[in-house]
Amino acid sequence: MRELEERILKDGRVLPGEVLKVDRFLNHQVDPDLMFQIGTAFAHKFQDAGVTKILTVESSGIAPAVMAGLAMHVPVVFARKHKSVTLIDDLYTAEVYSYTKKTSNHISIAKKFLSATDHVLLIDDFLANGQAVQGLFEICDQAQATVAGVGIVIEKVFQTGHQLVEDRGVRLESLAQITSFEGDRVHFASEKTTD
Judged by phi (left if over 0) then psi (alpha if -120 to 50, else beta), residue 148 lies in alpha
Q: Which stretch binds its own copies (CB under 8 A): 76-84, 93-101, 140-148, 179-187?
A: 76-84
Stretch that binds its own copies, among 73-81, 141-149, 155-163, 185-193 (CB under 8 A): 73-81
The verdict on whether residue 61 carries a ligand-binding annotation is no
Residue 156 annotated as part of some ligand binding site: yes
Q: Which is nearer to its own copies, 67 or 140 (CB)?
A: 67
- Is the CB of residue 160 less than 8 Å from the CB of residue 129? yes
CB nearer to its own copies: give 68 or 128. 68
Shortest reach from residue 162's CB to its own copies, in Å: 27
Query: Site for its own copies (CB under 8 A): which residue of 33, 141, 166, 191?
Result: 33
Task: Dihedral sign for Cα 113, 119, 121, 127, please.
Answer: positive
CB atoms within 10 A of CB 96: 20
Site for its own copies contains 117 (CB under 8 A): no
Q: Given candidates 9, 13, 19, 28, which one binds its own copies under the rule CB under 8 A?
A: 28
Q: Exposed, middle or buried, 29 (CB in 10 Å: 0-12/13-18/19+)?
A: exposed
Count CB atoms within 10 A of the CB of residue 100: 11
